[in-house]
Amino acid sequence: MFISASAAETEAAGARLAGTIQPGDVLALVGDLGAGKTQFVKGLAKGLGSTEVVTSPTFTLVHEYQGSRLPIYHFDFYRIESLAALRAIGFDEIVFGNGVSVIEWADRFAEAIPPQARWITFEMASEDQRRIDLSNFG
């Protein structure tokens, strides 16, 4: 657990984690609106060598970024209505594939998250501080 004091620091934490990522990794992100999940994914994608702009998936429900080693699949379960909708976008194929999957609001459909996923929680500690807990790495 650590406190990030700025959006840039949260991004840097994502970039640092990128160095540990292996093919097939699943990162399950949990935290309220504005807690810093997307900021973290920005750093992760950069750290994996992507130069693409990272934004929360809306209509397409999943964004794919090309890293230098691996593709990154970015989901946001906030936008997903049901398990059926999740299945329909090919979640299972992607999450059991060889890219890295990163899922915002993963707790909304926790039953769809594979057991090897690493859970990361984000909490707002103050306007600019976020408590980030990477200890639930299963």
Q: How far from chain centre, in Å, is Cα 44?
A: 8
Site for ligand ATP in 106-135 (CB under 6 A): 122, 128-130
CB of 37 to ligand ATP, least distance (A): 3
| Shortest reach from residue 57's CB to ligand ATP, in Å | 10
Q: Distance between CA atoms of 106 and 95, rounded to whole angstroms?
A: 12
Q: Which region among 43-51, 96-104, 105-113, 130-138 touches Mg ion (by CB under 5 A)?
A: 96-104
Q: Which of 7, 25, 49, 56 binds Mg ion (CB under 5 A)?
A: 56
Count the neighbouring beta carbons within 10 Å of the beta carbon of residue 76: 23
The site that binds ligand ATP (CB under 6 A) totals a number of residues, namely 21
Cα(72)–Cα(94) distance, rounded to whole angstroms?
10
Interface residues toward Mg ion, by CB under 5 A: 37-38, 56, 104
**Where along the sequence are the contacts to ligand ATP (CB under 6 A)?**
4-7, 9-10, 31, 33-39, 56, 78, 104, 122, 128-130
